[in-house]
């Protein structure tokens, strides 16, 4: 007889080892953490374009006093939008930390988003 896992008890909030690994892997990149924090602050679905602009503005405010940008804001937005679409949003969606609708190009929270945000808050 096999040991029960978290999937046998969907109402449990604890994560098994695989769930922890998936969460850690999903939140390893600063951009993915920023996506969750931005969605949590906004409280609702965002288009990928609105999310991208918000993340660029967030980063620019944080590093502007220390950094001179070689790219224009438009170039930074486009580069980040491509990274989000092809790398970061699929990774977060696979971990069920966000819902990403490719057709409408909208990103929204899931039931697990708050767990990811809580984890990030604990680290900061």
Token duo for residue 110: 């899931």
Q: What is the CATH number of domain 15-123?
A: 1.10.10
Contact 120, 36 (CB under 8 A): yes
- pLDDT (tens digit, 0 to 9) for every residue of the chain, 124 residues total? 444 343 443 443 455 666 678 888 889 899 999 999 999 998 889 999 999 989 988 876 665 555 555 566 788 889 999 999 999 999 999 999 999 998 999 999 998 898 889 888 887 7
Parse the chain into domains and list their residue ranges. Answer: 15-123
Beta bridge partners of 98: 109
Indicate the DSSP class of residue 96.
Answer: T
Distant-in-sequence, close-in-space partners of 113: CB < 8 Å, separation ≥ 6: 36, 39, 40, 97, 98
């Amino acid at each position: 007889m096999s040991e029960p896992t978290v999937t046998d008890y969907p109402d449990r909030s604890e994560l098994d080892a695989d769930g922890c690994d998936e969460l850690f892997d999903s939140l390893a990149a600063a951009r993915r953490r920023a996506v969750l924090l931005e969605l949590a602050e906004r409280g609702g679905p965002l288009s990928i374009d609105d999310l991208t602009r918000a993340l660029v503005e967030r980063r620019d405010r944080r590093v502007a006093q220390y950094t001179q940008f070689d790219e224009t804001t438009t170039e930074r937005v486009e580069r980040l939008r491509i990274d989000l679409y092809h790398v970061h949003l699929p990774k977060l969606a696979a971990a069920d930390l966000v819902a990403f609708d490719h057709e409408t190009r909208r990103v929204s929270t899931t039931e697990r988003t708050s767990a990811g945000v809580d984890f990030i808050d604990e680290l900061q």
